[in-house]
Amino acid sequence: MIDLSSLASTRQITLRTVMRILLDRGAVSRAELSRMTGLSKQTMSEVFRELEDGGWVQLAGRTQGSVGRSAATYEVCADRALVFGADVGGTKIHAALADMHGIVLTELIEPTDLRGGEHVVGQLARMSGALADAIGLPAERILAGTVGIPGAYDPRSRQLFMVPNIEGLEGTPLVDRLEALVGFDVQVGNDVNMAAKGEQWLGEGKDVDNFVFIAVGTGIGMGIISERRVLRGARGAAGEISTLPIGSDPFDGRSLRAGALETAIGSAGIRGRYEGSGGETGLTVREIFDRIGRGDAIAIATLDEVARALAQAILAVSAVIDPERVVLGGSIGARPELLERVRHFLDRCMPNAPHCTISELGSKAGLYGTLATSLDALRESLFQTPGYDIPMPGAKPLEQIP
């Protein structure tokens, strides 16, 4: 096995250059690689010997030469290095493995271990091994992993905070403990940031340098892509717009716990608005939304108030971040009735409102974001270059799992 990070400097650069060309261009002959890199045929033969011995490249086929002779072409063994991604929620964990091209090879969904804490860490480690077993490859091929958590991760203290939905993870050094179990480098990020990264890779954020992803459901959160990079903030809490002083009193005790905006337009806030205005009690948010189509005046008024508050939040965000696009997701954010009203109110409070749309990746945006983050880390490790934030060859969204 070749360790691309420990070779002598000149050879290391040469190997990385050849690998990157093969990874970006696909099947290429040795002669063409020699022309592209300026390397001699002898040097190229030596490079290929090392890469083939390490299992990094393989014969792809043959191409017809200009004088009738065919030439062998080579390609990267895409599954020589794998990346792991896991979107961790309060009720389930959705994990997957992808190859170096960003092709998802297998995925797994399990209920989140209700015991929380160390048990969830152990569950993540076990799932990474189970995914490798499912495709018949050794777990040692997993070289990078990313976990999305409904909370914030402070890179300075290397601890999680603001994780109310999973018992025992608050204050946990998850990265250190998970890396000790799995043997590969692990990153941790906020789940909404991961969803924004997923949208950048395969969703509504492709080819957009500056946009935000706003998830509205039980709670509300935002992931920020600024100049094509995830904006995390000093403590990993950038985008926690649930605390914006919009829609309710930020000094109210309930707002202090959940945030003023979340108190106003989260699922509990929507139910409270509807019931407090004389609507039927005990309905779910979905049932309240469904009543809009039947002309329920209280449901219509409730949604108007929610959309107005969300438009105010987008106005505040735009004043600071100036996004080109706003992508809405989550069980509430993905409702077209809400999008229509948000656009209506934005046009009345902003002269140049950002384009608002709904995520087409749905609940998989966060998983794609963890894989994209892992691919960035893998390529930076292999090639010693900044993150690779453009779509990988052949990468495409998976079909939605019910």
> Could you tell me the residue ranges of all domains in the chain?
9-76, 80-197+364-383, 206-359
| Alpha-carbon distances, residue 102 vs 99, 109, 236 (angstroms) | 5, 19, 26
DSSP letter for each residue of 255-317? HHHH-HHHHHHSHHHHHHHHHHTTPPTT--HHHHHHHHTTT-HHHHHHHHHHHHHHHHHHHHH
Closest among 289, 292, 365, 290 to 327, alpha carbons compared: 365
Query: Using an 8 Å Cβ cutoff, are 260 and 247 in contact?
Result: yes
Report the pLDDT value the prediction gives residue 279, as an integer from 0 to 100: 94
Beta bridge partners of 328: 214, 358
Mode of pairing for the β-strands spanning 325-329 and 355-358: parallel
How far apart are the C-alpha atoms of 82 and 374, rounded to whole Å?
A: 9
Here the tokens at position 239 are 């985008």
Considering only CA atoms, give the Rg of the chain: 24
367-382-97 Cα angle (round to 5): 25
Is residue 369 within 8 A of residue 387, CB to CB? The reply is no
Tell me what pLDDT residue 391 has. Answer: 41
Domain 9-76 matches domain 80-197+364-383 at the CATH topology level: no
Say if residues 89 and 112 touch (Cβ distance below 8 Å): yes
Return the sign of the alpha-carbon dihedral for residues 22, 25, 28, 34: negative
How would you write the pLDDT of the chain (402 residues) with one tens digit per residue?
Answer: 345 544 447 777 888 888 888 888 888 888 888 888 888 888 888 888 888 888 888 888 877 655 556 788 888 899 999 999 999 998 999 999 999 999 999 999 999 999 988 999 999 999 999 999 999 999 999 999 999 998 888 888 887 877 777 888 888 888 999 999 999 999 999 999 999 999 999 999 998 999 999 999 988 999 999 999 999 888 777 888 998 999 888 888 777 777 899 999 999 999 999 999 999 999 999 999 999 989 999 999 999 999 999 999 999 999 999 999 999 999 999 999 999 999 999 999 999 999 999 999 999 999 999 999 999 999 888 876 555 443 444 455 555 433
Task: With both helix axes pointing from N to C terminus, report the angle between 297-321 and 336-349 in degrees, rounded to the nearest 10.
Answer: 60
Residue type, 144: A
Q: How far apart are CA 184 and CA 130, in angstroms?
A: 15
CATH topology of domain 9-76: Arc Repressor Mutant, subunit A (1.10.10)
> Cα 56 to the chain's mean position, in Å?
27
Confirm if 142 and 95 have CB atoms less than 8 A apart: no
Evaluate if pTM is beyond 0.85. Answer: yes
In this structure, what token pair is assigned to residue 399?
């079909």
* Distance separating alpha carbons of residues 352 and 132, to the nearest angstrom: 48
H/E run at residue 254: helix 253-258
Q: DSSP label at 29?
A: E
CA distance 329 to 230: 17
| Dihedral sign of CA atoms 231, 232, 234, 237 in order | positive
Q: Does domain 206-359 have CATH number 3.30.420.40?
A: yes
Look at residue 255 in the predicted model and tell me its pLDDT: 74
Please tell me whether residue 187 adopts helix, strand or coil conformation.
strand
3-state secondary structure of 196: helix
Q: Looking at domain 80-197+364-383, which of 3.50.50.60, 3.30.420.40, 3.40.50.2000, 3.30.70.1170 is its CATH number? A: 3.30.420.40
Cα of 389 vs its chain's centroid, Å: 12
